[in-house]
Chain A
Amino acid sequence: QKEVEQNSGPLSVPEGAIASLNCTYSDRGSQSFFWYRQYSGKSPELIMFIYSNGDKEDGRFTAQLNKASQYVSLLIRDSQPSDSATYLCAVKGGGGADGLTFGKGTHLIIQP
């Protein structure tokens, strides 16, 4: 049973600060890792994906992957109130036989 774990939060961060979201996964054969943002009542929106160990930056977002520790994180710099949402970590195994396995998400609140 593949599992993806996230702290459900809520995680409260002051506007302008760095928000740090974390995720661990159980399947050591996982190959691809994704972060989605989901506003209440809306569908998930892809923010970042990362395949290799290390950091990947895109604008205010940085994804970090450590396969040895089975750990993925998302950093949001200069947090804005519009970043308030639920962030879903998703993992894909190497076999390609199924879709993504999602964590339950972390609810992020950016305080103005």
Chain B
Amino acid sequence: EAGVTQSPTHLIKTRGQQATLRCSPISGHTSVYWYQQALGLGLQFLLWYDEGEERNRGNFPPRFSGRQFPNYSSELNVNALELEDSALYLCASSRLRDAAPLHFGNGTRLTVT
């Protein structure tokens, strides 16, 4: 079965711009999670979507937002980019609403200059 796919692989933006990251979960998985992994830091929980709705968000400002589409794919938007937003953004999916384990995509490396 195909794994979690993310696009683009790399994204370079300048400060103040907007970035859009995309994720397709494993077939049959309805929950999508977004994590940020900045250099030298652990994975920080960003957002959780299930059945098209945002179920929870981590301790990030509102300029981090997203949505989940009817086919369960998801989009993460980061507005007004700041230099410290440079990180690896990981999407993960799971089969059940509140169950793990999570299966990760290969990530999008966002660089803000």
Contact = CB atoms under 8 A, between A and B. Distances in A.
Interface of A: 32, 34, 36, 42-46, 49, 88, 90, 92, 95-105
A43 B106 contact: yes
B42 A92 contact: no
B98 A96 contact: yes
A34 B97 contact: no
Contacts of B98: 95-97
B12 interface: no
Interface residues of B, number: 23
Contacts of B97: 96
B35 A99 contact: yes
A46 B43 contact: no
Interface in B45-92: 45, 48, 55-56, 58, 90, 92
B43 to A, nearest CB: 4
B104 A34 contact: no
B104 A92 contact: no
Nearest to B56: A98
Pick the most buried of A32, A92, A99, A105: most chain B CB atoms within 10 A of its CB: A99
B30 to A, nearest CB: 13
A22 to B, nearest CB: 16
